[in-house]
Amino acid sequence: MKSDRKKWDRRYSREISDSLSPDPLLLEFRGLFSSGRALDLACGLGSTSVFLARCGYWVDAFDTSLVALQNLMKRSTRENLSIGVAVVDLDYYPLPTNTYDVVTVFYFFSQNLLTSIRAALKPGGVLVYSTFNYHHVNEHPNFCSDYLVPLGGMGRFFPDLQVIADRESSGENPAISQFIGTNSA
């Protein structure tokens, strides 16, 4: 894990940017978002956290990279956004349960985390999940398949959520799976 953190810190030290746009999926489903508490997992530089905070959420932004989160904190302070950051290793960090109106995960997949991601949602809460699937190895043969979503739709990982979108492509890209579901319990 330490080496993973260093890898991401190194990458973000080279790639720091303030002009990151939110993922098109968030813009497409903009009507789902209002206010409350949001959790952005593996947030990186925080384009999703910033989007959610601008919508009106108090955002918990978690990532393993201190470099990325320091950058996000600076941006959040500058723009007076309600974002709290935490440097965590999601493989070990217990997520709060029944807490969030929105949980977002972009480009991070760990099968072991799916149950706790689901449990973090409040009744009525929305999960937005978009990440690389197995087609990704066609272009990136060395990519570790543990970090790729198996094909077949992400909905099966969240069987009790009401499906809003469950796709195995994003635009023209067949290597991205996307899921949006609500906790109607």
List residues near ligand SAM by CB under 6 A: 4, 8, 42-44, 47, 63-65, 68, 88-91, 106-108
Q: What are the Cα distances from residue 9, in Å, to 2, 41, 131, 144? A: 10, 16, 20, 19
Closest to ligand SAM by CB, 47 vs 183, is 47
As a whole number of angstroms, the distance between CA 174 and CA 107 comes to 14
CB of 5 to ligand SAM, least distance (A): 7
As a whole number of angstroms, the distance between CA 185 and CA 163 comes to 13
Closest to ligand SAM by CB, 8 vs 158, is 8
Instruction: Give the DSSP H/E element, type plus range, for residue 71.
Output: helix 66-79
Closest to ligand SAM by CB, 128 vs 161, is 128
Residue 77: both structure tokens together:
């302070």
Q: Is 42 exposed, middle or buried (0-12, 13-18, 19+ CB in 10 A)?
A: buried
Closest to ligand SAM by CB, 42 vs 95, is 42
Closest to ligand SAM by CB, 33 vs 106, is 106
CB of 110 to ligand SAM, least distance (A): 7
Q: Which residue of the chain is nearest ligand SAM when measured via CB?
A: 44
Q: What are the Cα distances from residue 132, in Å, to 138, 140, 143, 170? A: 12, 11, 10, 10
CB of 64 to ligand SAM, least distance (A): 4
CB of 87 to ligand SAM, least distance (A): 8
CB of 4 to ligand SAM, least distance (A): 5
As a whole number of angstroms, the distance between CA 132 and CA 137 comes to 9
